[in-house]
């Protein structure tokens, strides 16, 4: 027979489980997530939550799987036009990063979701999925997380593609507070929820051409990520990504949109830090190349992965 303490604890666990199931169900049912081309997918239980993934293509013993990581406030669907073009002769696996898309994280978002935590979560997923070496492709937040993964788990990364990513040195907590907490009142409401952004901002800040559809989907994916956007951005800001680039052993592609006025400023320091890299540009595209001009983006990425 259960003691009063045990009964109280059991009721608490049941209530917490019910709340988590309700929250997860609501998140999984979010209506605006594009279906994409994926043929298989699911959720992997990791410490702190469940990591959502999807697959396309057939595993090939001669080609490592290509892992696709999305931008800050994005979701795996950002890759849906590029993935089928990469999945010729290899398997591609896309992930929703912690707190984004259909990944389900327990409890409130932390103040900082570090890149190291995200990298370790992904490596845990690789282990559970039976993946050895992978080709790692990431943009924005995904590119920064990919750098950390390649830096600290070099044996797991065959090739690395860093696409339109903020490759900064580390910034202090005081600077983070000024630049993110206090300076983004136009992007988030008082509760920390993202507010819709004007499509014109994508053109002015990131050089995007196809601003209307990308802006509309971006507002949906940002709404889905909610309180996880700023913690993830703080995780980028507090990390010395340039130092991590120096640790990377994998052959690396730096990829930018030819019309990108923003991320291109990180090119020279990244090229200097990396041991083995080359740089390419997607024509007629701003910073979000996988969405702004997906076919040429996929062609450049496929050529990089297939070479050698």
Q: What is the pLDDT of residues 263-276, one digit of tens each?
A: 999 999 999 999 99
8 Å CB contact between 157 and 150: yes
Q: What is the pLDDT of residue 24?
A: 38
Q: Which two tokens stand for residue 271?
A: 């090229």
98: left (phi > 0), else alpha (psi -120 to 50), else beta?
beta
Q: What is the pLDDT of residue 141?
A: 98
Q: What is the pLDDT of residue 17?
A: 36
Q: What is the pLDDT of residue 9?
A: 37
Q: What is the pLDDT of residue 14?
A: 34
* Closest residue by Cα to residue 71 from 292, 305, 288: 288
Model pLDDT for residues 130-153, shown as the tens digit of each residue: 999 999 999 999 999 999 999 999
* Closest residue by Cα to residue 131 from 92, 161, 102: 92
Instruction: Count CB atoms within 10 A of the CB of residue 111.
Output: 12
Q: What is the pLDDT of residue 88?
A: 92
Q: What is the pTM of this model?
A: 0.90
Q: What is the pLDDT of residue 36?
A: 87
3-state secondary structure 150-161: HHHCHHHEEEEE
Q: What is the pLDDT of residue 28?
A: 41
Q: What is the pLDDT of residue 214?
A: 97
Q: What is the pLDDT of residue 21?
A: 36
Q: What is the pLDDT of residue 31?
A: 47
169-181 burial, b for 16+ CB within 10 Å, e for fewer?
Answer: eebeeeebeeebe
Length of the chain: 308
177 half-sphere exposure, CB direction, 13 A CA radius:
3
Cα 70 to Cα 1, 6, 97, 98, 243: the distances in Å are: 50, 43, 7, 11, 22
Q: What is the pLDDT of residue 34?
A: 85
Q: What is the pLDDT of residue 105?
A: 94
Q: Which neighbouring-strand residues pair with 162?
A: 138, 254
Q: Checking DSSP bridges between strand 104-105 and strand 251-257, what pairing results, if any?
A: unpaired
Residues 6+ apart with CB under 8 A from 3: none
* Tally: H helices and E strands in the chain: 12, 9
3-state secondary structure of 113: coil
> At the fourth CATH level, which superfamily is domain 35-306?
Alpha/Beta hydrolase fold, catalytic domain (3.40.50.1820)
Residues of the chain under the 70 pLDDT cut = 1-31, 308
């Amino acid at each position: 027979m259960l003691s009063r303490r045990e009964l109280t604890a059991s009721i608490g666990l049941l209530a917490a489980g019910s709340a988590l199931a309700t929250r997860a169900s609501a998140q999984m049912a979010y209506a605006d997530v594009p279906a994409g081309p994926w043929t298989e997918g699911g959720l992997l239980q990791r410490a702190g939550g469940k990591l959502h993934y999807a697959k396309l293509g057939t595993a090939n013993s001669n080609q490592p799987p290509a892992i696709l990581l999305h931008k800050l406030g994005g979701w795996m669907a950002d890759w849906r036009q590029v993935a089928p073009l990469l999945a010729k002769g290899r398997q591609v696996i896309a992930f929703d990063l912690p707190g984004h898309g259909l990944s389900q994280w327990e409890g409130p978002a932390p103040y900082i979701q570090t890149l190291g935590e995200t990298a370790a979560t992904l490596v845990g997923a690789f282990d559970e999925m039976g993946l050895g070496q992978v080709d790692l492709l990431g943009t924005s937040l995904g590119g920064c997380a990919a750098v950390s993964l390649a830096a600290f788990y070099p044996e797991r990364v065959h090739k690395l593609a860093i696409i339109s990513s903020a490759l900064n040195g580390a910034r202090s907590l005081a600077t983070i507070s000024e630049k993110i907490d206090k300076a983004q009142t136009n992007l988030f409401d008082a509760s920390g929820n993202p507010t819709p952004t004007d499509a014109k901002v994508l053109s002015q800040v990131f050089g995007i051409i196809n601003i209307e559809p990308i802006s509309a989907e971006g507002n949906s994916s940002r709404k889905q990520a909610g309180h996880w956007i700023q913690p993830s951005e703080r995780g980028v800001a507090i990390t010395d990504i340039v130092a991590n680039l120096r640790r990377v052993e994998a052959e690396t592609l730096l990829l930018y949109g030819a019309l990108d006025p923003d991320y291109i400023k990180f090119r020279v320091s990244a090229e200097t830090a990396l041991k083995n890299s080359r740089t390419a540009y997607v024509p007629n595209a701003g910073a979000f190349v996988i969405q702004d001009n997906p076919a040429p983006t996929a062609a450049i990425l496929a050529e990089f992965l297939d070479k050698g």
